[in-house]
Amino acid sequence: MPKSLKLSLCLFAVAFLVRLPLVGTNFYKTPDAVEYLNPALNFVRHRQLLTTLKVTFLDSRPLPYSPVGERPIGFSLFLIPWLFISRSPSFIQTLLLLFHSVNAALIFLLFQTFIPLAYAFLAALLFALNPNVLITNRLIMPEPVYLFFVLLSLLFLKNKPPHPALAGFTLGLAYLVRPEAVFLIIPLLFYYLIHRQSSTTLKLLTVALLTTLPYFFLNYRLNHQLFKLLEANHFRVTHFSQLSTQFPPPSVSTAVFINQHLPWILSAQLNNLLLHLKHLLSFPWLGLLFLPLFFCPKRFFKTHFVFFIYPLLSFLLISLTWSLFPEPERMLLIPFLFLLLFALKGLSRLPHLFQLILVFTTLITYSAFNFHRLTWAKTDLPNYLYSYNQPLIAWINQHTQPQDTIAYIDPWTINLATNRKSVIFPTNLNPTTLSMFINQYQIDYIITSSSSATAHLPNPVFITSSPDLAIFPTH
């Protein structure tokens, strides 16, 4: 067995063993997990790709409807065949833990073509043990699958001979999982163009377009837009939660919003940029390993500019999208990984004593963070297991019909635990807008505390005292 393959298997084993304690822990600390799971579960149950979960009011259609044009569809499509095997979230969670373990091996195979074998192994080991990569891997989120397709595409291109058609296919899949894959596609095309490899450029671009074309066609057919995506609306509000808490939703266009709030936007972007830079340089990410970046040869940056432009654009997208809730522990994966390539190239040029100090300090720091976070993850409960949600869930399962639509401030829990159509309940309603909300989204039940907005509804059919919540029928 070749040495590189043995080392790859070793990295896979280390990465998976350190992830085993995460199996069965809270898989949706971020509600996005349920939003990705929902259409996949609906397809497995009903053989239709539909969403039964509404978390913004940008679409006036009542549930259910196609999820195309909301979140990127690739991850939900990826989940479908696995959910036919098991619908258990723990099964999907274990699968994603396996994918990041495979990614550790792929990183080694890719990086060894650019830096010495020992440093490529170190890069993959640091990825496998990184505290942020590890703890966020428990979430049912697209990053492990996205990175898998990205790494595969780069390995296809670095193969001898290269396989640009296969690379284009996997890059297309990566785009369907996370559209920011375009930040890799564009510099790759530029790279092959300036190196006069027109055949590679053509194959890469053609197959990537053919892979994504069915999605664009479906998006246009359903939404009359090729590139409709929920995330595009982040640039016309100060905070993305306004898309969920305000009914009717903000109607100002992106151009008008930016024109009206430009000083505030620039200030928010600067603060966001500094926040993410601080996190990227902190110990759970690069830590002291950012120092060797200054010793990486300029020629190496120039030769491998694709691997610098890609994380830079990814970092800027995260930092300059002012309305996002900051999640640097999850969103800095690509900047961390590809800057690590340049950091370890710089590290290889330092005296061995400095190398040992930096690597040993990083591994010790990673271990301390991992011990704390793995211990915490075992005690972190998902919302549907909270005691105050149990009576609500039990009543809904026993007294409502499967086709009923329920509005609640936490629709993710209701949808996941009861399989009912669930709509987020806005916070700015009055009696008039409440009536509009009920009629537009065909709401059957509302879970909320009593207020002037609910005064005209029928008497509640169920009340909890801790917290003070009631289930109101709407008719």
Check whether 456 has a pLDDT greater than 90: no
Yes or no: say if 429 and 449 are a contact pair by the CB < 8 Å rule.
no
Check whether 299 has a pLDDT greater than 90: yes
Residue 322: φ, ψ to 5°: -70, -25
More confident residue, 263 or 30: 263
Check whether 468 has a pLDDT greater than 90: no
d(CA 315, CA 254): 22
Please name which of 43, 71, 41, 42 lies closest in space to residue 56, comparing C-alpha atoms. 71
Which uninterrupted H or E stretch holds 362? helix 352-377
DSSP 250: P
Residues 449-464 as b/e (b if ≥16 CB within 10 A, e otherwise) read eeeebbeebeebebeb
d(CA 439, CA 2): 65
Phi-psi region of 287 (alpha: psi -120 to 50; beta: other; left: phi over 0): left
CA dihedral 317, 251, 246, 221 (to 10 degrees): -70
CA-based angle 282:19:91, to the nearest 5? 130
Domain ranges within the chain, ordered by starting residue: 3-377, 383-473
Query: Model confidence over 32-44: pLDDT tens digits?
Result: 999 999 999 999 9
Query: Model confidence over 111-132: pLDDT tens digits?
Result: 999 999 999 999 999 999 999 9
* Residue carrying the six token digits 């009359």: 224
Q: Kindly give, in sequence order, each residue whose CB lies less than 8 Å from that of residue 10, ignoring residues fewer than 6 positions away.
A: none
Mean pLDDT, the chain, integer:
94
Query: Which CATH number applies to 383-473?
Result: 3.40.190
Query: Model confidence over 174-205: pLDDT tens digits?
Result: 999 999 999 999 999 999 999 889 899 999 99
Query: Model confidence over 225-248: pLDDT tens digits?
Result: 888 888 888 899 999 888 888 998
Check whether 452 has a pLDDT greater than 80: no
Yes or no: say if 216 and 31 are a contact pair by the CB < 8 Å rule.
no
Report, as an integer, the average pLDDT of 90-111. 97
Please name which of 414, 458, 472 lies closest in space to residue 63, comparing C-alpha atoms. 414
d(CA 418, CA 4): 48
Yes or no: say if 158 and 113 are a contact pair by the CB < 8 Å rule.
yes
